[in-house]
């Protein structure tokens, strides 16, 4: 074990029941149970819920929402946020459209350039936040307006509909009739991020700077650079999310994320918050974000099959965000009262 002497005055090593209690109360476990329960109920009561196409569509959307959630998660780590994820996603999508359709650049280099553009926009956000010392909310509020405005200005709000055929083919491709490559890309990104936070210096520095920037700085971490890196990561992931949407629709549309990209804000916060990422920074759950996006989409497809109007689903998802933060608060209080955290 650790080689550090145990003490008798310290709270004793958590007993086995306390450990299992902690697992049972963890967000990931709760979500998994919730997903299983909802899925079983829907599968038994709703016709078509388990059809290959329904599963495929659900998985594809889970892939997109996970990527959007990861993008926000990467900056929530710092205790900040990025309102411009939607705008960055659309900018990357339109850049891809312009390169692949107008400029005739092959698909893969276009993808790489579009993702890099996202990273660049993220860098601008991060640089402005660190240099000005102003909260990321106001900086990204401004940059969302600027990025989106420049995009519409340059594209004249016109969509790229004539993308190379392989783009939409990729979006429609199915492994085993049910699994979308979009989902696989997101799962791969989850693995990459999990490795980053768990096994690399940069990832740990991100968590340390997010939990207590002052202490991290005084421990010799260049907090400013680390925060910029978080914003770059957010930009890269937002750009990838934008490209996933392009693959799904087969076109790059300026309105794909709503006015100023605001439509992405709900999925962007819903998945990480459901998954137990702390809004004040310093703690993330990559798996939780994936599960959060999964739960949202299982619920949404079920409700749609039940003929609940999509407008009402918006209200339901909003309520779910509230429920998620309430549950998290209650869980914290419970664990604290038991002295488990």
Residue 1 in contact with another protein, rule: CB under 8 A: yes
Which 3-62 residues touch another protein, going by CB under 8 A? 3-7, 9-14
Residue 81 in contact with another protein, rule: CB under 8 A: yes
Residue 104 in contact with another protein, rule: CB under 8 A: no
| Minimum gap (Å) between residue 212 Cβ and another protein | 5
Query: 103 vs 198, which CB is nearer to another protein?
Result: 198
Residue 138 in contact with another protein, rule: CB under 8 A: yes
Query: 2 vs 17, which CB is nearer to another protein?
Result: 2
**Pairwise CA distance, residues 308 & 68, whole Å:** 24
| Minimum gap (Å) between residue 166 Cβ and another protein | 31
Query: 180 vs 234, which CB is nearer to another protein?
Result: 234
> Total residues contacting another protein (rule CB under 8 A)?
82
CB of 272 within 8 A of CB of 289? yes
CA distances from residue 137 to 69, 73, 207, 272 in whole angstroms, order as listed: 17, 14, 19, 17
Handedness of CA 88, 92, 98, 101 (dihedral sign): negative
Residue 150 in contact with another protein, rule: CB under 8 A: yes
Query: 13 vs 44, which CB is nearer to another protein?
Result: 13
CB of 271 within 8 A of CB of 296? yes
Query: 107 vs 141, which CB is nearer to another protein?
Result: 141
CA distances from residue 140 to 84, 85, 122, 164, 277 in whole angstroms, order as listed: 6, 9, 10, 33, 20
Query: 26 vs 168, which CB is nearer to another protein?
Result: 26
Residue 306 in contact with another protein, rule: CB under 8 A: no
| Minimum gap (Å) between residue 175 Cβ and another protein | 30
- Residue 202 sits at the vertex; the CA angle it makes with 200 and 206, to the nearest 5 degrees, is 120
| Minimum gap (Å) between residue 111 Cβ and another protein | 23
Q: Is 7 helix (H, G, I), strand (E, B) or coil?
A: coil
Residue 222 in contact with another protein, rule: CB under 8 A: yes
Residue 2 in contact with another protein, rule: CB under 8 A: yes
Q: Return phi, psi of residue 275, to 5°.
A: -80, -5
Q: Is 112 helix (H, G, I), strand (E, B) or coil?
A: helix
Query: 50 vs 219, which CB is nearer to another protein?
Result: 219
Residue 266 in contact with another protein, rule: CB under 8 A: yes
**Pairwise CA distance, residues 112 & 101, whole Å:** 15
Alpha helices in 103-135 (DSSP H): 107-132
Residue from 53, 315, 334, 338 in contact with another protein (CB under 8 A): 315
CA count, 13 A, side-chain hemisphere, 312: 8
| Minimum gap (Å) between residue 268 Cβ and another protein | 10
Residue 304 in contact with another protein, rule: CB under 8 A: no
Q: Which helix (H) or strand (E) holds 213?
A: helix 213-218
Residue 255 in contact with another protein, rule: CB under 8 A: no
> How far does Cα 146 stand from its chain's mean position?
22
CB of 153 within 8 A of CB of 98? no
CB of 300 within 8 A of CB of 317? yes
Residue from 17, 44, 104, 341 in contact with another protein (CB under 8 A): 341
Residue from 45, 50, 132, 161 in contact with another protein (CB under 8 A): 132
Query: 50 vs 319, which CB is nearer to another protein?
Result: 319
CB of 187 within 8 A of CB of 65? no
Residue 214 in contact with another protein, rule: CB under 8 A: yes
- Where does this chain touch another protein (CB under 8 A) — which range of 108-116, 162-170, 211-219, 295-303? 211-219
| Minimum gap (Å) between residue 139 Cβ and another protein | 7
Q: Which of 84, 339, 56 is nearest to 231 (CA)?
A: 84
């Amino acid at each position: 074990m650790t080689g550090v002497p145990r003490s008798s005055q310290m709270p004793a090593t958590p007993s086995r029941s306390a450990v299992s209690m902690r697992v049972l109360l963890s967000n990931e476990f709760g979500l998994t149970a919730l997903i299983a329960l909802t899925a079983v109920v829907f599968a038994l009561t709703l016709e078509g819920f388990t059809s290959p196409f329904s599963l495929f569509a659900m998985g594809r959307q889970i892939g997109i929402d996970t990527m959007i959630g990861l993008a926000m998660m990467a900056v929530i780590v710092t205790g900040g946020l990025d309102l411009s994820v939607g705008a960055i996603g659309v900018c990357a999508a339109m850049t891809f459209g312009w390169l692949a359709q107008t400029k005739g650049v092959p698909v893969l280099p276009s993808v790489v350039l579009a993702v890099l553009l996202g990273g660049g926009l993220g860098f601008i956000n991060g640089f402005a936040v660190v240099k000005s010392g102003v909260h990321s909310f106001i900086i990204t509020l401004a940059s969302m307006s600027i990025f989106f405005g420049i995009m519409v200005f340059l594209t004249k709000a016109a969509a790229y509909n004539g993308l190379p055929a392989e783009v939409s083919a990729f979006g429609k491709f199915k492994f085993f009739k049910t699994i979308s490559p979009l989902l696989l890309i997101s799962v791969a990104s989850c693995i990459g991020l999990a490795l980053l936070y768990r096994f690399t210096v940069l990832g740990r520095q991100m968590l340390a700077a997010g939990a207590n920037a002052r202490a991290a700085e005084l421990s010799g971490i260049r907090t400013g650079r680390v925060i910029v890196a978080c914003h770059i990561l957010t930009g890269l992931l937002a750009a990838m999310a934008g490209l996933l949407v392009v693959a799904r629709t087969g076109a790059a549309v300026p309105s794909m994320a709503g006015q100023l990209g605001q439509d992405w804000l709900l999925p962007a916060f819903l998945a990480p918050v459901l998954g137990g990422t702390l809004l004040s920074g310093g703690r993330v759950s990559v798996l939780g974000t994936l599960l959060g996006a999964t739960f949202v989409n299982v619920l949404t497809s079920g409700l749609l099959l039940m003929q609940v109007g999509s407008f009402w689903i918006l209200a339901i998802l909003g309520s779910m965000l509230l429920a998620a933060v309430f549950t998290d608060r209650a869980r914290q209080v419970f664990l604290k009262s038991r002295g488990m955290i």
